[in-house]
Amino acid sequence: MSYTEVPGVRVPIRMWTDPAAVEGAAMQQLRNISSLPWISGLAVMPDVHLGKGATVGSVIAMEGAVCPAAVGVDIGCGMSAVKTSLTARDLPDDLARLRSSIERAIPVGRQGHDDPVDPRRLHGLPTAGWEGFWERFDALAPSVRFRRERALSQMGSLGGGNHFIEVCLDTTGAVWLMLHSGSRNIGKELAEHHIGVARSLPHNQDLADRDLAVFIADTPQMAAYREDLFWAQEYAKRNRAIMMALFQDVVRREFRRAKVTFDQVISCHHNYVSEEVYDGRELLVTRKGAIRAGSGDYGIIPGSMGTGSYIVRGLGNAAAFNSASHGAGRKMSRTAAKKRFTTRDLELQTRGVECRKDSGVVDEIPGAYKPIEKVIEQQRDLVEVVAQLKQVVCVKG
């Protein structure tokens, strides 16, 4: 579908979904965003739903300003995926051992590695800039500098919530590895620090929503945030790269006889800020629950722990600021999902997937998410599908 334009306060709201299907609170958030004095454009993806401050599934383009709460607390959260030389015929009937091996190699939940991962010991992992990256740690906000050891231990770990590691099959029977994670606790603490600073600034006192407090260009607060933001986005990217290398090592060991090879890894952020130019104007584009989908850009749009996911290629639609959705999007809150569904429902909806089926992940049940097929159909002018995947193993935090 092409977008529907809804009147906003300062800019129109371009929506790649039916506005009538969007919950009222989310629509109000979008109107609040469109009222910001610095707003240049607002695009809404088909996975849109209520978020904190800014709506998940929104692309916010501002000139000379950025909103830290719109980025969210998991700075740089995103996806990585890679196609392997394995096929469905290579997989055992019982995938429990493979799942256990993945869980032993990659810490989940709040856990980190007992000893920080040395990237030089991981097969094929690029290590360029590694030392320089960590040298920048001491220049981060003072409130997080005592977190170095924790940040080191959590590098290469999954986290909880909707983060996952999956073994998938595409429609040809090829095996893919896929994972979803971000900047872990260090990104969260940096985000919370800067959100607090932004709320205290005089120019943010009369906003419709204090969670939309911004930093303005050429100020010390903006400079400090940009440094920490881009460091955390790099942390998230490196975190996924290490996890993928650990994941590949597990697969090499488990399928030693097959001599597994891997294609080029696809990786994309979906909670982040990027400096981009549109109509000759330099803008700060915040994608909160959205991926970059410039012409030829590869991206990943996952469903839920029991449904399909998609590898896509961007079509470069400038009306959407070269963006696409980051997933299926929730259709109900975690609390509502826990009240509505049972572990029996979870078992039925994840049939055929080797994964947790206990009360701790009921809030991640497929029924809590929008249908991924419809979400993909609504953005045919934003991306083209390269591969359709279905998980057979899913590791949750």
For the annotated catalytic residues, the residue numbers are: 326
Q: Are 239 and 182 in contact (CB under 8 A)?
A: yes
Q: Are 23 and 44 in contact (CB under 8 A)?
A: no
Query: Closest by alpha carbon to 222, among 209, 213, 233?
Result: 213
Coil, strand, or helix at residue 264?
A: coil
Query: Closest by alpha carbon to 35, among 60, 3, 71?
Result: 60
Q: Are 285 and 64 in contact (CB under 8 A)?
A: no
Q: Which residues contact 9 (CB under 8 A, 6 or more apart)?
A: 31, 34, 35
How big is the chain, counted in residues?
397
Coil, strand, or helix at residue 287?
A: strand
Q: Are 33 and 42 in contact (CB under 8 A)?
A: yes
Only one residue has tokens 């990585």, namely 80
Strands 266-269 and 78-87, bridge-based pairing: antiparallel
Q: What's the CA gap between 224 and 220, in Å, rounded? A: 6
Q: Are 254 and 273 in contact (CB under 8 A)?
A: no
CA distances from 170 to 88, 176, 325 (A): 9, 7, 20
Q: What's the CA gap between 68 and 343, in Å, rounded? A: 36
E runs forming strands in 35-189:
39-49, 56-62, 65-66, 78-87, 164-170, 174-181
